[in-house]
Structure formats: C-alpha cells, structure tokens
Structure 1
Amino acid sequence: MGKWLFDSHPIVVDRELAAVFGLNEAILLQQLNYWINSKAAKTVNGRKWIYNSYKQWQEDNFPFWSLATVRRAIENCEKKGLIITGNFNKAGFDKTKWYSIDYDAVDRGMSKRSAQNEQTSCSKRSNAVVQNEQTNTRDYTETTAETTKDILSGKPDHAPYQEILDYLNSKAGTSYRASSKATQRFINARLNENYTVDDFKKVIDIKVANWKDDPKMSKYLRPQTLFSNKFEGYLNEPMPTKQPPKRTKGYLF
C-alpha cells in the first residue's frame, strides 16, 4: 500500500496529495485505493484490480460530481501514470475498464515535491545571507501586498471572469460585472470542474439562441442560471437551428 494513501471507506483528502496531483485526482486516488484493498478487488498477474464503468463510479462513489468530471479525473490520473488500466473481462464485447494504482508513481511524485520544497527552502536561506535583507523584505512586501489587494478587491485578473462576462453581455445585451463576487463564485465552481472558457461561450451561445427572443425566458440569461449546476446539461444541448419564416396566404393584385 502507498504510504500517501489511507485505507478507510469515508472519502478523505490528503492535502499534500491534492497539492501535487490536484484535488479531484487526490479524491479519486483515495477512493480507488479503498476499493483495491477491499474484498471486491480481483488479483490478476500479482496486482490487485477493481473494475467499474464511468457511470458506476459516479453513482456509487462520486454523486457530488458530474459524469464528465469523473471521466476527466480518471483520464488525468491515467495521463500522469498514477492509474493503470486493463481489460480482463471474460466476454470480448465487455469493454468495462479495470483499474489499479501505480503506487511507485505516486511515491515518486510526492518525493519529487518534497525535494523541490527542500531545494526552494535552501535557496531562500542562501539568498538571505548573500542579498541585502532590507531589499528582499521590501520586494517581497510590495509583491505580496499588490497581489493580495488585487484578489481581495475582486479584480478579474486571476480568472477569466472579464472574458466570460464580456462575451455574455455582448451576446445577451446584458451588463453583468466581472467584479461581482456572486458571479465569480458561479464561474469558479465550473472552472474547478475543469470546464474551459470555450465551454462557457458555448453554453452562452446555445442559451442565447434558445431564450433571447422569448420574453419569458430571456430573464434567465444571467450567470446564476447559465453557470449553475445545470451547466453540463446546457453544454450538451444541440445548437438550435433557425426556422425559416412561415409563409402566409395572401392575394395577388
């Protein structure tokens, strides 16, 4: 068992693991580790495996995530070499994946992080001796104060709030502000699920085409509706096609 993972059923998050590999990936690894060390695991070629479909992972383990988020977390872990996948199903048509954890890869990632932290710490101590202490303190203070001020003031420089809101306002004829903390929370929630700016623009395009000319629905062209937990559903809706104008019967004179 990897020393960075717990062997318990409740979903827990190790802060160091999340800092290195990402929050969703850390949660996924922890839950996968639980099942690999349970009686449900199967041993193949000396390695323990657990098999599940994306839908089963989502329904049985991560109901607080969308199916797309589960898929992205698994694929990210595969790309990083943290998860090993296989297919040991008896039926050839059964494509359900089997999963195992490469504990050595997890340990290497965590060890690399520790080495980098130690190197950074030593470098800072050496620089403090060589450089003028007053200069170092002034530079650090100025940078920190400026960065903190920007974040607390709600400036949109640290996330694509401005780009997303400008796009919404131009398409829907609205005037939502990127500095609104409430709006930022909705955008951050979706960004944390690994959606992109292009995904936001696509949702805006689809719903503007659906709702803008509808007096009853146009009022819902707002961040709290478009960027809510229904975001994935909106994103997967087809773009409505424009209907040709209806012909009316008339008389020729």
Structure 2
Amino acid sequence: MSLLISEPPLQVLPTLARLIGLNEAIILQQVHYWLQRSNNVRDGYRWVYNSYPEWYKQMPIWKSETTMRTAFKNLEKQGLLITANYNKAKFDKTKWYRINYEKLSLLENEARSAKIWQTKSQDLADGSAKKWQTNTNRLPETTSENNKHSASHSNAQSVSQLEKEFEEVWSKYPNKKGKKQAFNHYKAWRKSSTKHTNEYLLGQLNKYLVYCQQNNSWYHAMNGSTWFNGRFDDVLITESIANKPTKRIYD
C-alpha cells in the first residue's frame, strides 16, 4: 500500500492522517508494521494480537489509554481493522487484528479521484475553459452527425482494444472472482496515464505469481477485482522478491 510505510519508528503519512484521523493513522501504521513481521496465520491472513495496555506501551503518545482505545474502536467501525479471537483459552479475550487492505485501497482511490476532480475544476475556473474553447474554434468545420459517428467509432475501438488487452492479463490471473469490477479498475488505470501499459501489468503479475508460489503454504491469491484495483503495486509483495531470481510465469 502506498499509504503505509515499513519503518520501526512511530510515524505516519499526512495523507493517511487526513483520510482517517491522526490517532487512527498512527495505530494503523503500527499494526501494519507488526503484520509484516507476524507468523500468526489464520484463515489465510496474517494477524497480530495485543492487549490495550501492551499497545499503549508501544505507543505512549496519548494523554490516556482511553484515547487510544477510542481510536482502535473507530478503526473497527470504519472497517479498516478486522478483529478476531484465536486464543487457545476461552477466557482470554485478547483481540487479534488484521488490516482490511481492500477497504483502505478504496479510500485511497476515492481520495485520489476527488483530488483530481478538484484540480481540474480549479483549472477551468482559472481560465482553462476559455482557452480550450478558443482552440476548439480553430478546428475544421464538421457536422454534429459526423462528430457523433466519429466519437462513437473511436470509443468502440478503444474499448474493444482495452477488452482484448485486459483478457490477456486476466487469462493468467489465478483467482477469477470479480471480473467485471476488475475490468472497470483496469480501464480506469490504463486511461489515467500513458505509462500504464499491459507490459508493465504483466510484469507485476509475474512477480505476484512468484510471491504466491513462494508463500503457497499460507497465502492465497486475492480476488481479481482486488488485485486489479491497484494492489499489483503492493510494496510488501514486490520488494519481498526484488532480489530473488524470477521465472517469467506468464510466458
């Protein structure tokens, strides 16, 4: 995740703090730090567990433990922290935690989209609309019917090509759940930058397949709709195999 870092000190990115709150961001970063180092795997996920007093010892930055408890509960209400109880003793109520990375990714994408829209709106307010209109008037004269036909034909070709290239990647992805959502994410990603190419995505898929293969004793490939929603750039996955020789699985 681009909003989470992997450093021992207590620190947090301002972007994450703006999205979910400063206290909540500090806690989520700390849980993420320990999840990366956890060997507690249950139901296909890594988990960490601690009592509130133990968490407070790690993060003694609040005036009281109550403030920290409130932030934990807020994260649970937002669906960003998933809790469970895998303790052997029934009387042991210590919570186990994992991060809902899919929910965090959705929040990040929504915030990015809102920022892009705000920037474009501001550009128009500053006079870009007038400039665009002036340039448009210099184009050769065409009828509205021709314009409509040309645009429809161009869009059809564009969508058709994207579908073809998406299928190339999708056919090699191991978990086929959420194809429609995956294609929507794929289209948005491809159109957002000319640097977003199929070759790059196939390269990321190759890394991910290697990661799945190396960790098949506990890790299962995420739903296709999730991976195509920006998870192909997960630093935790790509860096974990960066220094290891890989075989081009998708060839």
- TM-score scaled by structure 1? 0.48
Greater RCO structure (CA 8 Å; 6+ sep): 2
Instruction: Normalising by structure 2, report the TM-score.
Output: 0.49
